[in-house]
Structure 1
Amino acid sequence: MSKTITLDEAAKLLLSWNNIEILTHQSPDGDTLGSGYALACALKAKGKNVRVITCEEIVGNFAFLKDGLKTDEDFVCEKVVSVDVATPSLLGVNREKYENIIDLCLDHHVTNDMEATYKYVDSESAAAGEIVLKLIDALGVEIDKHIANCLYTAIATDTGCFKYSNTTGDTLRAAARLLDLGCDSQMINYTFFELTTRKRVELEKYIYDTMEFCCGGKCAVIYITCDIVNKLQLTDDDMGGIESIPRRIEGVRLGLTIKEKSENLCKISARTNGDVSANEFCKNFGGGGHAAAAGCAINENIQKVREMIISKAEEVLNEGNC
């Protein structure tokens, strides 16, 4: 059974530890990476030896988050901290090694079911980056430009550049403070919300050509198949943020994205504008997340997955008299 603690207590624990590994989740986004690297840099500033653990090599748009973080060659892990990891399956290839040895879990998902010696979960925070910002203050670390960039990336990407319904006054105040501390918001906003590639343009053309509507237009479904990923040689950067496309369409209350990962495995992302719970929808398939953004994985072929999620969408939307 995990012990729930305060941020001040979490800070005291971290200050008493030395060789620390920070876990991020699979299919990493700006929040898990930005928060993880910000915390790592803050702990380095306190003289700690720290290593950030990812499920894959961090390249492309997120690569700058790693700047300046070096780990001693003789590093031997003593304590493990997870950041923005809501459930063990999100540890991906690192699950077997780390699932049962997490010392501190930091998260903002109301659905968090991680087991750790200590836990701090604040579901009122729009991003883990908000939590880590407060934690760094509790650690007594001065936030430099790089840490500010990491935290701004975390918060901006998890709120859709402050457009999503999870954005609060505290979120905006945190972002404003990071701007005052020197973060390069222009670079970050351009990189993650404006910059595109020719492959991304081709991907969006494919998405709009194959998009499917159901439930009287209240649900839109888009597909990313292995074939299109291979044909266009898509990277994670090319596919970043595509989950928001269905939600932007007039009349759509539930936007679903099916990503085919292999012949019998698909990842599903659900996005809503708040009146339909993405979290509750994905819980039907063993997943979860937030009210307006959630995900799950289904071990079936893409056609079967399509049938399953459209059937559930019709059930959910009809229950709501939509």
Structure 2
Amino acid sequence: MNKLKEIASKVMDKDDFLLVGHKAPDGDCIGSMLGLYLGLKAMGKRVGMLLSEPVPPVYHYLSAAEQVKLPGEIQFIPKNLIFLDCSDEQRVGQEVFSLIQERNCSFNIDHHQSNGLFADFNYIDTSAAATAEIISELLLLMPINISAAMADALLAGIIMDTGCFLNANTTAKTLRIAAELLNFGASVNLARISLFESKSRKEVLILQHALQHLDFSSDGKIAWMSLPYHELVAIEAEDLYPEGLINHTRMIEGVEVGILFREMPAGKVKVGFRSRGQVDVAALAAQFGGGGHRQASGAQCEGKLEEVKSIIIQAVEDVI
């Protein structure tokens, strides 16, 4: 582990960077990437951004979102890499991972408790509510003026990873950093409208299908929703991953653990876990090769949807 000041110093010493984030990028991944990208560009650095999947449309309102490249689009790959919000380097996805094998120097900035400290320079703060919170602190250590565009990106990351500051990972420090971002020009109104009041019809249809497959354990402590792949294809939403979808399971009275099963092609199922706090779902996800946080985690399992559901639900019941 390095100190954040060390990370800042090493970054300032170098001139070209590639920022990479995890597959199925969420708000924290996108916000952290765009905030740091804009900050490094303001310092005159040469910077690129690479993701295995497109930036979700909900984040297109953020400055420089259109600059994020996919593996088939990137032409120049800098040898100084910054991994953002990745608990391990293969979280970037196989296509991206294969492109970044030759590297001069790598940085790993994250807040996941399962992070393996895989880079040359690592800064992992598990007390941070979001990686965007860490990037906000990092930019304050650099000789730049944080712009409204940077602040909007970082605020989006914090909002999404804290569930609008309502999740247990929200700390007094999180709120102070959010307040600083507002002072730098971030717009709460823009975030609210863009993140929560501009959902596409397909996103709402995904929710409709998920709720049609809502079920509960006999004691009511576990709730789960399922998304069969053929239903996603039918509404042309197989590539959409609405972040707040799983929260509809946890908001039900009496539920301790909420689960979302999303069937993928090639016999795979993505599993998301949410906990009210008593159950450590990061430990549950780890049983199936996944990880995350105590109250929010995920894994990917091999097998048919119904088989995976049966195994996962039994594992959760055993813990409860």
TM-score, normalised with respect to structure 1? 0.91
Query: CA separation of 1:99/1:298 partners in 2, compared to 1, >3 Å: closer, same or farther?
Result: farther
1:87-110 CA distances to partner (integer Å, 9 max, x unpaired)? 233211312333684611000111
Amino acid at match of 1:82: F
Query: CA separation of 1:284/1:20 partners in 2, compared to 1, >3 Å: closer, same or farther?
Result: same
Measured after TM superposition, the shift of residue 195 of structure 1 is 3.1
Contact 2:49 2:67 in 1 (8 A): no
Contact 1:60 1:237 in 2 (8 A): no
**Which residue pairs with 1:106 in the alignment?**
109
2:33 pairs with 1:36: yes
2:219 pairs with 1:216: yes
CA RMSD, 1 decimal? 2.0
Contact 1:88 1:114 in 2 (8 A): no
Q: Using the aligned pairs only, state the percent identity.
A: 28
Measured after TM superposition, the shift of residue 50 of structure 1 is 0.2
**Which residue pairs with 1:293 in the alignment?**
296
Query: CA separation of 1:76/1:296 partners in 2, compared to 1, >3 Å: closer, same or farther?
Result: closer
**Which residue pairs with 1:276 in the alignment?**
279
2:7 pairs with 1:10: yes
Aligned residues: 313
Choose which of 311, 314, 319 in structure 1 pairs with 2:314: 311
Contact 1:220 1:254 in 2 (8 A): yes
Contact 1:280 1:291 in 2 (8 A): yes
Amino acid at match of 1:38: G
**Which residue pairs with 2:252 in the alignment?**
249
Q: Give SS of 2:226's match.
A: strand
Measured after TM superposition, the shift of residue 135 of structure 1 is 0.4
**Which residue pairs with 1:26 in the alignment?**
23
**Which residue pairs with 1:94 in the alignment?**
96
Q: Which moved more, 1:177-186 or 1:236-245?
A: 236-245
List aligned pairs for 1:75-224, cutoff 5 A: 75=76, 77-92=78-93, 93-98=95-100, 101=103, 103-224=106-227
Contact 2:262 2:269 in 1 (8 A): yes
Measured after TM superposition, the shift of residue 198 of structure 1 is 3.0
**Which residue pairs with 1:320 in the alignment?**
none
1:175-210 CA distances to partner (integer Å, 9 max, x unpaired)? 111112111211112222333333333332322221
**Which residue pairs with 2:42 in the alignment?**
45
Q: Measure the CA separation in 1 of the matches of 2:238 and 2:264.
A: 13
Q: Which runs of 5+ in 1 are unaligned?
A: 318-322
Q: Which runs of 5+ in 2 are unaligned?
A: 69-73
Amino acid at match of 1:11: A
TM-score, normalised with respect to structure 2? 0.92
Measured after TM superposition, the shift of residue 132 of structure 1 is 0.3
Q: Which moved more, 1:101-110 or 1:28-37?
A: 101-110
Contact 1:30 1:154 in 2 (8 A): yes
**Which residue pairs with 2:71 in the alignment?**
none
1:19-45 CA distances to partner (integer Å, 9 max, x unpaired)? 100111100011111101111111111
Contact 1:100 1:116 in 2 (8 A): no
Q: Which moved more, 1:218-227 or 1:94-103?
A: 94-103
Q: Give SS of 1:65's match.
A: coil
Amino acid at match of 1:37: L
Measured after TM superposition, the shift of residue 310 of structure 1 is 1.0
- Select the structure that is richer in helix: 1
Query: CA separation of 1:89/1:301 partners in 2, compared to 1, >3 Å: closer, same or farther?
Result: farther
Contact 1:263 1:302 in 2 (8 A): no
**Which residue pairs with 2:64 in the alignment?**
67
Runs of 4 or more off by more than 4 Å in structure 1? 68-71, 73-76, 99-102, 235-238
Choose which of 260, 264, 267 in structure 1 pairs with 2:263: 260
Q: Give SS of 2:62's match.
A: helix
Q: Measure the CA separation in 2 of the matches of 1:38 and 1:103.
A: 18
Contact 1:49 1:75 in 2 (8 A): no
Q: Measure the CA separation in 2 of the matches of 1:206 and 1:133.
A: 37
